[in-house]
Chain A
């Protein structure tokens, strides 16, 4: 992950004190309490935004059998559009977040029309919908990434200073950038909203029905195409919002931010159980903590290696995700 840590409680003196902790036990215990807590909290906060990004990925894969590689590209594009709007208008954070979400939703329309709809009865790779959509969304990634690189000159862009709050708030003894807290809170609220909509409302039931059998759903009078479009738009809108939030919290976005996030997103989706909103949230926060600790303590990429190895093991031994129930297969 090439996300820049703006809030980083570590500095040389702490690390040295760890290395010879035999001589300064007192400092060590202080270090453990404060720094580890800080690392964990920053992991949780980042995990919330990861969850916001991954939940659309998860529902698309679970309900529509769409392996959406373009999810990261949509995040990046929406963030750039929001930044451009901020530069032009000087709006404040709240309308900019709406711009990000709206851009994502708009990008979801061509995505569904061109990359998903033709494949509901596709024949690519033996009729495997996931593989077919992977290929078409890949085309979106190629086109989108090149357009983004072209228009941004492959530079890292940030929101103009002052368009979003930058002060720090106190969480107990710790001080955290306020954007982290806002991003986390907004993500949690939206994810819980998504979970409630999926679980208790008629459109949510329709989407779950399509997930279980889209033919049967259409026989029951559910307009599968319309729900597919709606799901793709909501999913992309959440990605767009996550893009704007990440750009504010991490003080910038570059053309490959989304692509880097994408893989993390799929890890979260698989760990949480495909299509499960609560599972996604838990997996995203867990991964945020693991990544935060891994980045902080290890030199090299051992944290990342551990996460990938965990992913492989989960796919092999618990394909339904850590929280999911095993599926019963009938022949």
Chain B
């Protein structure tokens, strides 16, 4: 069969399928941002186990393949545990070393592997009829995973591990499982290759194969389930297509690779996905504008604000918006906040109880015997000069920093030894001092992420989608639902991050500097969201430097200085306290 001047022989299609399998085994771990290339060793292991089982024990090929997959998956687990904390290019170097060790062992264990000669004489049973279903099953599997909540978790983990932890994703478990999946697919590929060629030899598992497979995945797009398929097709077929050019064909392949990488840094499929996302955002934006014309908000909504300043701002903003845009930007509705005191749930139970928390780095005492207890429905503000240990306190409560001593009780049970992802699943939601979002994904996905591990409904469930829209509407950012994060302003990003935490329906809401660098309107919107959360019965702990904001919203204030709690009580008295004054402005 000829195809654009390329003769597609059965052998070429078979090789293409084997390459696709190897590309997916690499993609399995690449998809969480880890450059693990040990797949080549597991491919070799699969091939050799099959060959040895067949030639020594005369097991049927199917058994050999199953045994190869099982053994590889088991061996991948300790490797994953060993390399858990190794990232970036260092993981690539380490796993290349593992692959090289494996290749050397193959040569050294003469009696078992026949050394450099390899094992020949295997039955050639893996034809297109075997390969095609295997490839189909693997691709189907990766497609299903990419649509599942696990797939969304993987996107989060790839983009930012701390963010993934904060929404309750067990990052280490994901690494281990994906290492095992990668090893299984690689072993399947190795065993099929053995039964396709009829022999195995150590040369097949070389550095150049690794490089080729990495290029396939990155070229296709390491964040798209279709990427490895596209990349494998490209790098298998293009050299074939250029074959008539003789020695220059490889030069041409290299040049094409360079050009494609320079022009399409997100990969072949990644580029298409980005284009589609942008298009969708533009479409929805246009429809919102049209909708905005028809369902014009009726007049200026009643402004019941405590301060005249807010009213002035609102008027100014509305006038400006009315003249310039002919339409009121939604975030200006943030001015409609109704100032009221948070409902004090008197006598409600203590949700969080920290005792004697101490954190020390080197000789520096960052937290010194800090105690904090927060009741459900309460808004507690934590203030203090820079370096007082406020963010560290939040990190300790959310499990991101292990305290040197002290205990944390949450909702009646001791959580001192629960990891960050476990605390998130128990209902401790947090935002970060520097906004952490998946920049390339839409607002919707980012907000859904918050609900990944806290509710049982799937993310495509309409009921959950509507709850996400509700949260976005409460923050007046619903028009950005389809937008990729990287096109949003800083204030909107802040709101999206808070929306993510709110989507998880936390029992304890930890907020780190929500107002830093955010304009007045957005602050009011954030304030309303936090009040709503408290009214729902959620305990809110806010770290912030905006004392006016804290005084408005908090029912209780904790003032810290140099790791020590210097004041705890109602916000009105905080700045009459002598120690607080001296901490802020000196005595």
User: Which residue numbers of A lie inside 8 Å of B, CB to CB?
Assistant: 61, 67, 69, 114-115, 118, 122-126, 128, 130-132, 134-136, 138-143, 145-147, 149-150, 259, 263, 266-267, 270, 300-302, 304-305, 308-309, 311-312, 315-316, 319, 331
Contacts and interface: CB of A to CB of B under 8 A. Distances in A.
Contact of B255 (A131, A134, A143, A316): A143
A136 B256 CA distance: 11
A316 B85 contact: yes
Contacts of B257: 135, 138-139, 142
B82 to A, nearest CB: 6
Q: Which of B104, B105, B207, B395 has the most CB of A within 10 A?
A: B104
Nearest to B162: A331
Interface in B466-514: none
B249 to A, nearest CB: 8
Interface string B33-50: 101000000000000000
B261 to A, nearest CB: 5
B94 A315 contact: yes
B400 interface: yes
A309 B265 contact: no
A118 B265 CA distance: 10
Q: How large is the interface on B (under 10, 10 to 19, 20 to 34, 35 or more residues)?
A: 35 or more
Interface of A is mostly: helix
Nearest to B253: A142
B54 to A, nearest CB: 26
Nearest to B260: A139
Contact of A130 (B88, B162, B254): B88
26 contacts: A61-B89, A115-B258, A122-B265, A124-B267, A125-B30, A126-B159, A130-B89, A131-B35, A131-B218, A132-B261, A135-B218, A136-B258, A138-B211, A140-B254, A142-B257, A263-B207, A267-B97, A300-B108, A302-B108, A305-B104, A309-B97, A309-B101, A312-B98, A315-B86, A315-B94, A331-B432
A301 B103 CA distance: 10
B215 interface: yes
A309 B102 CA distance: 11
Contacts of A132: 261, 265
Interface string B158-174: 11001000000000000
Given A305-B101, A315-B90, 7 more contacts: A69-B211, A136-B258, A139-B261, A146-B247, A146-B251, A147-B251, A302-B108
Contacts of B158: 126
A131 B89 contact: yes
B108 to A, nearest CB: 4
A308 B262 CA distance: 33
Interface string B90-101: 101110111011
Contacts of B98: 308, 312
B250 interface: yes
B214 interface: yes
A231 B567 CA distance: 54
B488 to A, nearest CB: 17
